Chain A
Amino acid sequence: AQSVTQPDIHITVSEGASLELRCNYSYGATPYLFWYVQSPGQGLQLLLKYFSGDTLVQGIKGFEAEFKRSQSSFNLRKPSVHWSDAAEYFCAVRDDKIIFGKGTRLHILP
């Protein structure tokens, strides 16, 4: 069965530091991959998506993600985080429906 694994439940980084959130997927064909962000008390918002083409995908809010087929990974990155980036981040893969990972909670130190 298709699945998404986010190995880190919590990540803490200092404001201004770089960020990488890990995501591994299990999918037989070419995956359609997504990263969503959920701010406290809010619904999910799409950050970026990968369908095909360039494996480095640019998203909103300064985020990017790189699809690596050989590693079955789709890690999310940001060169310099802001306090407002503190949120829950979900990686997802599309099958006949979207399957979400269990999320990574990002904490930002001042």
Chain B
Amino acid sequence: DTAVSQTPKYLVTQMGNDKSIKCEQNLGHDTMYWYKQDSKKFLKIMFSYNNKELIINETVPNRFSPKSPDKAHLNLHINSLELGDSAVYFCASSQDLGLADTQSYEQYFGPGTRLTVT
């Protein structure tokens, strides 16, 4: 069974379009994340949600809007796509926020969505 799944795996679209990437986890985790990995493999967190509540919102253009309909899903919607948005987007989940010493904060990653904006 896939633990963290993302759809689509590949997404090719034109500048100015609006697109969504979906993420689902079947691990029963409370926390989910979106990461962006650029062409140089640099991985940077964009958002995290804990029990459907936004916890981390890094300096990301407001064209990016995450939505968490329930604990198992965290979708990413992108408006007015730009060339610079081309990247691989990873969804991840963890049991907890890992803020207490007893919490592991181990993250499980999805396979990624390669977004190409032309």
Do A and B interact with each other, yes or no? yes
Question: Chain A residues in contact with chain B, CB under 8 A?
Answer: 32, 34, 36, 38, 41-46, 49, 51-52, 88, 90, 94, 96-98, 100, 102-103, 105
> CB-CB contacts of B61-96 with A at 8 A, as 1s and 0s?
000000000000000000000000000001010000
Q: Is B107 in the interface zone, CB < 8 Å from A?
A: yes
Chain A nearest CB, measured from B82 CB (Å) = 23
Q: For this complex, into which size category does the number of interface residues on chain B fall?
A: 20 to 34
Interface of A is mostly: strand
Known pairs A94-B98, A97-B45, A97-B48; list 4 more (Cβ under 8 Å): A32-B98, A46-B107, A98-B105, A100-B42
Contacts A32-B105, A49-B106 given; indicate if A97 touches B56 (C-beta within 8 A).
yes
Q: Specify which chain B residues have a CB less than 8 angstroms from the CB of A94 in the assembled complex.
A: 98, 105
Complex alpha-carbon distance, A40 and B59, angstroms: 28
Contacts A90-B43, A102-B40 given; indicate if A43 touches B56 (C-beta within 8 A).
no
Is the pair B56, A96 in contact by a Cβ cutoff of 8 Å? Answer: yes
Complex alpha-carbon distance, A76 and B112, angstroms: 25
Complex alpha-carbon distance, A102 and B39, angstroms: 11
